[in-house]
Amino acid sequence: MRQFIQDIAEKNHNQITRLLQILRAIQSRYHYVPQDAIEQLAGLLHVPRTRIISVVEFYSFFHLTPRGRYELLISDSITDHMLGKKDLSDYLAHKLNVAVGEVREDGQVSLDNTSCIGLCDQGSAGLVNGYPLTRLDRPRIDCIVDLINQQKPLNEWPSELFQVNDNLIKFGLLLNHTIVPGEALKETFKRGLQETLAEINQSGLRGRGGAGYSTGLKWHLCYEGSQADAFGDVDAQKQPQRYVICNADEGEPGTFKDRVLLNRYAHQVLEGMTICAAIIGATQGFLYLRGEYLFLYDKLQTILDERRQAGLLGNNIMGQGLDFDIEIHLGAGAYICGEESALIESLEGNPGIPRNRPPYPVTHGYLGKPTVVNNVETFLAAAAIAVRGGEWFANVGTEKSKGTKILSISGDCLHPGIYEYPFGTTILSIVKDCGASDVMGIQVGGPSGTFVSNREFDRKMAFEDLATGGSFIIFNNSRNILDIVNNFTHFFAHESCGFCTPCRVGTSLLKKQLDKIIEGYGSAGDVVALVELCQLIKSHSHCGLGQTATNPVLTTLERYPELYQSRLKEISYEPGFDLDGALETARRLARRNDAGAHLAQVEEAL
């Protein structure tokens, strides 16, 4: 083992920033991260062993005790559940003779759940040693069990088991007008860097990762911020190094468009990053690829090599004096690492805990240097705009939402997959296109977004109305809303990074309170307590995860109060339950300002 650890550390230049990549290699080889490996790494990387342990403990793909030689993880997304996940995973556990969450006695196989793996269009899905297993059903599971019992290496398993389809269904402005490698860079150099930034500004492009910040402004601030010393830190002026990061963490349940964009249009995404580098003056870029997309890693490395050979990456790109290269960093199973400052922490070899902001990454990002973080789709769009101009893009969409949005549609519809729509498209026309019928409602923007009932289908997909990072999960009338809310609430409690009390304790309490009501043990007072807790988590959490974790409860309680009411047990001494009154009290209570003290009491009681 000593030699392996030394080699892997050397391959990563003994850099702490490569810690996740080193730990991934160790986990993959030994099926856990042994204490001896931690000791040795601490010496090689010159960091305390506790720092390495904190990273191993933070990421769900690393373990301090051995997992099976075949490590099976089954996706826990609501769409997997809708496709029979529970029965399938019980069947798998039975056939393999191993309980969920356990390692089989002979050490050959372990089985566990994992948060949505980005394959909602072809579930039920899972991972074996990090590689995707799609469209699981009983015959496929029988085959997998046989292969494991025969101890067949993964490269001898039938390739159909691992087949991931793109399911590209509706092409719009961007997907219809892709570029050839080098085309956008050529136009950028021909037009001029500042002139190209002006086109990006004119296009009105806003970030596609969810928050919708102006892309042109972000690039401008990164360039200017490091020149103008926005936070009084003279160091920023002395250190012109800047970074470009592509956020391919795509952890929001129900989102899988970045997976397809990277599989089909990687050149264009990487070109968008390179244009950004030229404009802001960066020499180094990172593609932060979620660990669940390991299957894309080799292909993306090949494309990076092709680009280097074609003079589109590396030194003196296209003979224009631009030096820029891109490294791929794989994540290790943590939804919070999609949040840009947590992502940067992760890239630096730390647990992915969101930073205090301001300062923002544009001035103090990776290693404290000015950094642009953009979503995969944002870079794809930027490259297209560099070729076709800002007006071409701005002519489509609405006043505040220019261009198109690429959606990942899944759930109860005939054609799950990737659809591109101009902003301003109604929910009704999207529902019609994907072959959905008898629809009860749609979760727009994933669990952190909004539940839209079938009474609201005239609403529009746009920043002015329904903003979305791209997740669009359809539910028909056979579905139980409380099961959906329960799944989402458990997801947030599981993915809370634990840094701040309102989210760490609050999401866990929320889960318990909801379970109590759903299981029929709640009274009217419990709904009041539920709302009070939601308000408290929403208003006191440190980052976007906690601030949106209560959306599933709040948006469904608002639309379907009778559903919650129907689960309450009847208490004879509670005369005439008035939910509106209870909610009003809750709203009033939620505004009190002693939330911190209340949570401290709660935490003590736990």
Ligand X SMILES: Cc1cc2nc3c(=O)[nH]c(=O)nc-3n(C[C@H](O)[C@H](O)[C@H](O)COP(=O)(O)O)c2cc1C
Residues that bind ligand SF4 (CB under 6 A): 336, 354, 496-500, 503-504, 541-543, 545-546
- Our CB check for ligand SF4 shows the closer of 422 and 445 to be 445
Bond before 358 cis per omega within 30 degrees: yes
Closest CB 344 distance from ligand X, rounded Å: 10
Partner whose binding site includes residue 375, from ligand SF4, ligand X, none (CB under 5 to 8 Å by kind): ligand X
Q: Which amino acid is at 272?
A: G
Closest CB 474 distance from ligand X, rounded Å: 21
Partner whose binding site includes residue 211, from ligand SF4, ligand X, none (CB under 5 to 8 Å by kind): ligand X
Separation CA 606–CA 595 (nearest Å): 17
Partner whose binding site includes residue 541, from ligand X, ligand SF4, none (CB under 5 to 8 Å by kind): ligand SF4
Closest CB 377 distance from ligand X, rounded Å: 7
Partner whose binding site includes residue 499, from ligand SF4, ligand X, none (CB under 5 to 8 Å by kind): ligand SF4
Partner whose binding site includes residue 535, from ligand SF4, ligand X, none (CB under 5 to 8 Å by kind): none
Give ∠ CA 195-198-202 in degrees, rounded to 5.
140
DSSP 376-399: HHHHHHHHHHHHH-HHHHHTSB-S
Q: What's the burial of 35, exposed, middle or buried (CB within 10 Å: 0-12/13-18/19+)?
A: exposed
Question: Which among 449, 451, 442 has a CA at the least distance from the CA of 492?
Answer: 449
- Our CB check for ligand X shows the closer of 109 and 336 to be 336
Q: Which amino acid is at 495?
A: E
Separation CA 101–CA 59 (nearest Å): 16
Closest CB 59 distance from ligand SF4, rounded Å: 14
Partner whose binding site includes residue 333, from ligand SF4, ligand X, none (CB under 5 to 8 Å by kind): none
Q: What's the burial of 53, exposed, middle or buried (CB within 10 Å: 0-12/13-18/19+)?
A: middle
Partner whose binding site includes residue 249, from ligand SF4, ligand X, none (CB under 5 to 8 Å by kind): ligand X
Query: Which two structure tokens, joined as six digits, stand for 203?
Result: 């296009």
- Our CB check for ligand SF4 shows the closer of 354 and 424 to be 354
- Our CB check for ligand SF4 shows the closer of 442 and 599 to be 599
- Our CB check for ligand SF4 shows the closer of 410 and 541 to be 541
Closest CB 268 distance from ligand SF4, rounded Å: 32
Partner whose binding site includes residue 378, from ligand SF4, ligand X, none (CB under 5 to 8 Å by kind): ligand X
Query: Which two structure tokens, joined as six digits, stand for 368?
Result: 């404290």
- Binding residues vs ligand X (CB under 6 A): 207-211, 213, 247, 249-252, 336, 338-340, 373-375, 378, 543-545
CB 510 within 8 A of CB 550: yes
Closest CB 513 distance from ligand SF4, rounded Å: 17
Task: Answer positive or negative: Cα dihedral of 197, 201, 205, 207.
Answer: positive
Question: Which among 83, 100, 98 has a CA at the least distance from the CA of 134?
Answer: 83
Closest CB 92 distance from ligand SF4, rounded Å: 31
- Our CB check for ligand SF4 shows the closer of 159 and 356 to be 356
Closest CB 213 distance from ligand X, rounded Å: 5
* CA distance between the termini of the chain: 41
